[in-house]
Structure 1
Amino acid sequence: MDGTQFQPIVNFIWNIADLLRDHYTKGKYRDVILPMTVIRRLDAVLEPTKVKVLQKQREDEEQGFPKRHKYLCKASGFDFYNTSHFTLKELTAHPAELKANFKNYLEGFSPNVKDILEKFKFEVQLDTLDKAGILFELVQEFCSTKVNFSISPVLNNQGKVVHQGLSNLGMGYVFEELIRKFNEENNEEAGEHFTPREVIALMAELVFRPVATQIQENSTFFIYDNACGSGGMLTESKAFVKDVLQSKAEFELYGQEINPETYALCKADMLIKGEDADNIKFGSTLSQDGFKESEEKFDFMLTNPPFGKAWGSEQEKCKADPRFSMGVTGASDGQMMFLLNMLAKMKDTPLGSRIASVHNGSALFNSDSGQVAIRSHIIQNDFLEAVIALPLDLFYNTGIPTFIWILSNRKPAHKQGKVQLIDATSYFEPMQKSLGQKRNYLTPTHISAIVQLFLEQPKSPHSVIVENDDLGYQKFSVFALKSSQELLEEEGFNALSNHQAILKRLKELESKPPKLKPTYKTPKEFLEALDLPTPKLKTKEGIEIPAPLNLFDKQEEKIPLKEDKEGYFLKEIQPFTPLSFIEAKSVKVGYEILFNQYFYTPSAQKSLAQLQEEITDTEGEIQILLSEIWA
């Protein structure tokens, strides 16, 4: 969607914030402007059916019925309503009673809207605005005829359109653009960013396009975002399958969001668009799973979880959660936990579930034990279908490298046991004007080219296919006996009761190393195989006891999973340190995705003539500097 057509209304709302200048710090403007934007939108949408709602309310009261949500929603035409006798415009007709009337107006909203306003804590702002004497002017500005918050167009007396109606997707753009601008003003953390529409379009293509023929029948599919923000990824992905793929199936949207403001915006957006707003849950996806009780599973999951963000306060609770039994990441970064949450919500159906998730480079290769365990679980179970490296500077609040992971529990036969790596870092167009740190964007041509690489898997310098085990590695500890000379220099060696026996046997072994197997369970077993005495000390009572002296140097080795570790040891280690072995219990298998290993292009080497010219120039600069010093 081209957001430029909605920029005037964004600018109009942004300029209203000037009213708050002397009464709020700049970082608090959003606490007023965002909820007022939501209230004005809901007010404008409900205005055409206001009379019908009030009439229905009177009928119910006359018949002794309580306020009945279902029937009032039917009268309003939406899943929400307002039974106050006021509209936002009518509030300005009584300036002296504005605060009290405004509270009455807010109280008239249906419970689902009240939940939204509660998360905004708007009644607190109402009191502050009234005391500051700017409440009337604020309401008046939001009701200005200069812009149109309604879905319907505004006509003049001649029936000509003065202002086009603001579509649901357009309102979604306005919401997210305002949030982006406020985040930029407040210098929010890089990990807390909003996903550009063209990135969502790419993710939707990668998730839905491969199964387009399977989602045409008359069925209902569930789409889920476990870090849904203001809901852009949910609504855009549904728009893609309905408008681009022309699917006749039904799609229900589900999400969870921890930030009260963005949760409120998302829920408001869902209400306006006729979605079931109760499917949007509030709270932390990791420690407060909103779908735990319903045990809901989802067909399609798209998300851009926070990365590089501390989550230590939730760790302990997550360790006892079955969703995360495969591993729990370190306290400094919980992004991979969101992947595990989605894997736990995959459907066991013929279609299965498909996932698209945005991550930074850390998720590919970080050695944190939890992240290693999660990567291993994903790859060993053959869930990972592809990883796409995106261009830099695509996101508003961060310029760090980002990647889209595509996962499925129903990979097509030709992709099973394999992972596709796509280098799309050069697929971008520079923006004429930066938006925050967003300096680049994906054009439809770029998106089509990336999708073609993914679907057709042609031979290309931008795409490689690797087997799952190509991404695996083995780590193990190699213990090597210290030399006789090293032991003589070791503090405490001469105090051993059997140091002479150890030294004698070690020198024999050094002069003629025996042929030994590569792997032993423990250092003690290795010493026994060498017939080398273990270090001992004699107590005052004349009893010999084991000594704490360490006879070994230890080093860590890391080799490809497909390589035979014992063959590697015999070829690369034992010839140089013959009195050494692999500790059996230390062997660990992990997986990492090293993009540079497959796509690194070395820079061109300078010619000899170029190097000589640079040296001559540098020598000349040095002579000039020296002459200035000695002058």
Structure 2
Amino acid sequence: MNLDTQSLQPIINFIWTVADDVLINKYLENQYQDVILPMTVLRRLDLALEPSKDQVLLTHNEFKSKIDNLSGLLTSKDHGSGLAFYNTSPYTMKRLLADPKNIDANLLDYLNGFSENVQDIISKFKFRNQLETFENTGITFSLIEKFCNPKVELGPDKISPMAMGYMFEDLIRRFNEKTNAAAGRHFTPREIIELMTHLVYLPVKDKIQQGTYLVYDPCAGSGAMLTQSKRFATDPDGKVKSQATFHLYGQENTGEMYAVCKSDMLLKNEDPDKIKFGSTLSEYGFEPDLKFNFMLTNPPYGTSWKEDIGKLNVGTEKKISIVDRRFNLPIKNFKGELEETCLTSRSNDGQLMFILHMLSKMKDSKDGGSRIASVQNGSALFTGDAGSGESGIRQYILENDLLECIIQLPNDIFYNTGIATFIWIISNVKEEQRKGKVQLINASSDSFFKRMRRSLGDKKVELLDSHIQDIQNLYFNFEENENSKIFDNEDFGFYQIPVFQPQRDEDGNIIRDKKGNSKSDASLKDTENVPMKEDIQTYFDKEVTPYLPAAWYETKGAKVGYEIPFTKFFYQHTSIRDLSEIENDILQLEKETEGLLNEIID
């Protein structure tokens, strides 16, 4: 089921008003989220711990002088919180309000009482940095009072992690819009996550009924992809109904989103240590040999990864050389020989680097293999000429037969961008009919979405359950029609060959060397992209020679290129209107305009 995002708006709106009611004139607008986001998380954790508060205090007071490490007891169901975290302070947020005079000192005591895993969350939010401002401006009581208002139903029994992830993303979107900040990342609408999980799990649902599976998101954000993924696979009333064990792994390099993700993992009784902080590309947080069965992600695109290059780079920015097995892979040269190549995208867009990273984390096919779903923008399909890092990454994916399907989503479906976006489905355990093939699905037309009554930022359309089902059907039917095209992997490859033209003297004669060969004119040197399935000489004779009879090509310096010109395959020609039809329309407009003018004059 799709998340009813509209039902969350009253809560989001209430939290939003806290900034205007309490923080105004105390904080700059671009600092509001430094208070609102951690307070929302802390209140959510506070409500989760409230029922077991007295039991935790009783256990803590009884055993604190007898046992050094009380974590086991304080998280147990019988003696503690029954959750993966706890708080040994005598205060809850509501109890803090009972002593207004000492509320600032008591708030610090309350924060210090949280278990170590929550301390990490507080630290990543840098929340303690705010306490001095709270005290100096006298807003501590009113701030806590707002968050204890019954209108803010933030408890995990009221709002799921999926809904909470949406709330945080919407709040962050609003903060960014208010301060004209570029978000740099595109939070994933719930219905797209739903589509991604369906396409990752349903093809192998019969094979994952038992056992243990590892799910990974290298750009975890709020963790929604991870939690919704597990929920879909294990829902006893769902389409998969797996009884297997799923472990969730993720990494996030934005402190506030890492804190949000880790807090919801705690509330879901997931292992919070499986969520790591730092940049996946240069500070990967897990063992290098750890592999995953399923990977889902929406990496930042159109954003710089220069900082990562600086940490990985042993060359120069113009000629990057990275000593990292994830990014050094064998691809074929023009002669068909495998060459170990450093594959890197341009420094201002690292989205394809996350694809490479995930490829390195795929389980071997003999161990069941892996399935990946990743959101990419259009540039990942074609950016980079033959021989470039981007082209090389596409080449590696296609020549190793890893790409199953690419789905174009409707425009205006994300909260902070209206650009074209695509879901890539990657697998090293393809079904027989898909081997050597790539399916392209165009789900961007209005038959695949519904316009929203009210837009949310840039998000103006949404996928209904019926739309998700329609897209699934196109994928599973694996047939060609107006919205589905099937290609051989080689259809996307080409050879880029250098083309030369001869020098001519003042009389128009071709200048030749001592051997009688034409001397080339450097200013006229060009290249020609020859489809991989075509013979180069035959192509040259047909496409070049009729127009440049004296031109020739050389295979020395020829390069291999790969691109996926998605829109070309689904382009529909619109006939130009007949001139007489246009003339009649203009005459009709003139008549109407003339009549209107007469009415005004009269």
TM tier, smaller: 0.7 to 0.9
Q: Which deviates more, 310-319 or 44-53?
A: 310-319
**Distance of aligned partners of 1:317 and 1:528 in 2 relative to their CA distance in 1, 3 Å threshold:** farther
**2:60 aligns to what?**
57
Name which of 346, 360, 364 aligns with 2:362. 346
**Distance of aligned partners of 1:572 and 1:619 in 2 relative to their CA distance in 1, 3 Å threshold:** farther
The amino acid of 1:570's aligned partner reads D
Q: What is the SS of the residue equivalent to 2:349?
A: coil
Which whole-Å CA distance do the structure 2 matches of 1:460 and 1:569 have between them? 32
**1:412 aligns to what?**
431
Q: What RMSD, in angstroms, separates the aligned Cα atoms of the two structures? A: 2.3
Contact 2:500–2:521 (CA<8 Å) still a contact in 1?
no
Contact 2:212–2:245 (CA<8 Å) still a contact in 1?
yes
Q: Which deviates more, 474-483 or 174-183?
A: 174-183
The amino acid of 1:136's aligned partner reads F
Which whole-Å CA distance do the structure 1 matches of 2:96 and 2:113 have between them? 13
**2:337 aligns to what?**
none
**Distance of aligned partners of 1:389 and 1:151 in 2 relative to their CA distance in 1, 3 Å threshold:** closer
Instruction: Return the offset for 1:58.
Output: 2.0
Contact 2:480–2:486 (CA<8 Å) still a contact in 1?
no
Contact 1:221–1:249 (CA<8 Å) still a contact in 2?
yes
**2:83 aligns to what?**
78
**1:564 aligns to what?**
535
**1:625 aligns to what?**
none
Instruction: Return the offset for 1:435.
Output: 0.3
Q: Which deviates more, 49-58 or 118-127?
A: 49-58
**Identical counterparts, % of pairs:** 48
Which whole-Å CA distance do the structure 2 matches of 1:615 and 1:562 have between them? 50
Contact 2:479–2:486 (CA<8 Å) still a contact in 1?
no
The amino acid of 2:106's aligned partner reads N
**1:555 aligns to what?**
526
Contact 2:501–2:521 (CA<8 Å) still a contact in 1?
no
The amino acid of 2:300's aligned partner reads P
**1:358 aligns to what?**
375
Q: Which deviates more, 135-144 or 599-608?
A: 599-608
**1:134 aligns to what?**
139
Matched, 1:109 2:114: yes
Name which of 168, 179, 184 aligns with 1:186. 179
Instruction: Return the offset for 1:69.
Output: 1.7
Which whole-Å CA distance do the structure 1 matches of 2:358 and 2:479 have between them? 30
The amino acid of 1:601's aligned partner reads Q
Q: What is the SS of the residue equivalent to 1:247?
A: coil
Instruction: Return the offset for 1:619.
Output: 11
Instruction: Return the offset for 1:137.
Output: 0.6
Contact 1:481–1:552 (CA<8 Å) still a contact in 2?
no
Which whole-Å CA distance do the structure 2 matches of 1:601 and 1:190 have between them? 34
Which whole-Å CA distance do the structure 1 matches of 2:587 and 2:537 have between them? 52
Name which of 292, 317, 325 aligns with 1:298. 292
Instruction: Return the offset for 1:220.
Output: 1.0
Instruction: Return the offset for 1:232.
Output: 1.0
Q: Deviations over 1:414-446 (max 9, x none)?
A: 101000000000111000000000000001111
Instruction: Return the offset for 1:567.
Output: 1.6
Which whole-Å CA distance do the structure 2 matches of 1:29 and 1:449 have between them? 42
Which whole-Å CA distance do the structure 2 matches of 1:474 and 1:303 have between them? 32
Which whole-Å CA distance do the structure 1 matches of 2:576 and 2:451 have between them? 28
**1:27 aligns to what?**
30
**1:436 aligns to what?**
457
**1:160 aligns to what?**
none
Q: What is the SS of the residue equivalent to 1:76?
A: coil
**2:305 aligns to what?**
311
**Distance of aligned partners of 1:529 and 1:414 in 2 relative to their CA distance in 1, 3 Å threshold:** farther
Instruction: Return the offset for 1:385.
Output: 0.3
The amino acid of 1:334's aligned partner reads G
The amino acid of 1:24's aligned partner reads Y
Instruction: Return the offset for 1:191.
Output: 4.2
The amino acid of 2:383's aligned partner reads N
Q: Deviations over 1:543-577 (max 9, x none)?
A: xxxxxx96773111112111111222233334554
Name which of 394, 398, 406 aligns with 2:413. 394
Contact 2:500–2:526 (CA<8 Å) still a contact in 1?
yes
- Tell me how many residue pairs correspond in the alignment: 557
**Distance of aligned partners of 1:240 and 1:187 in 2 relative to their CA distance in 1, 3 Å threshold:** farther
Instruction: Return the offset for 1:482.
Output: 1.4
Matched, 1:336 2:352: yes
The amino acid of 2:395's aligned partner reads S
Q: What is the SS of the residue equivalent to 1:306?
A: coil
Which whole-Å CA distance do the structure 2 matches of 1:201 and 1:148 have between them? 25
Q: Which runs of 5+ in 1 are unaligned?
A: 153-164, 488-502, 510-526, 535-548, 622-631
Which whole-Å CA distance do the structure 2 matches of 1:148 and 1:579 have between them? 78
The amino acid of 2:25's aligned partner reads D
Matched, 1:6 2:47: no
After superposition, where does 1:463-542 map in structure 2 within 5 Å? 463-485=484-506, 506=510, 527=513, 529-530=515-516
Which whole-Å CA distance do the structure 2 matches of 1:589 and 1:138 have between them? 61
Contact 1:57–1:67 (CA<8 Å) still a contact in 2?
no
Which whole-Å CA distance do the structure 2 matches of 1:190 and 1:586 have between them? 42
The amino acid of 1:187's aligned partner reads N
* Higher Rg: 1
TM-score scaled by length of structure 1: 0.84
**1:601 aligns to what?**
572
Which whole-Å CA distance do the structure 1 matches of 2:120 and 2:570 have between them? 49
Matched, 1:17 2:33: no
Q: What is the SS of the residue equivalent to 1:203?
A: helix
The amino acid of 1:298's aligned partner reads F
Contact 1:188–1:397 (CA<8 Å) still a contact in 2?
no
**Distance of aligned partners of 1:528 and 1:576 in 2 relative to their CA distance in 1, 3 Å threshold:** farther
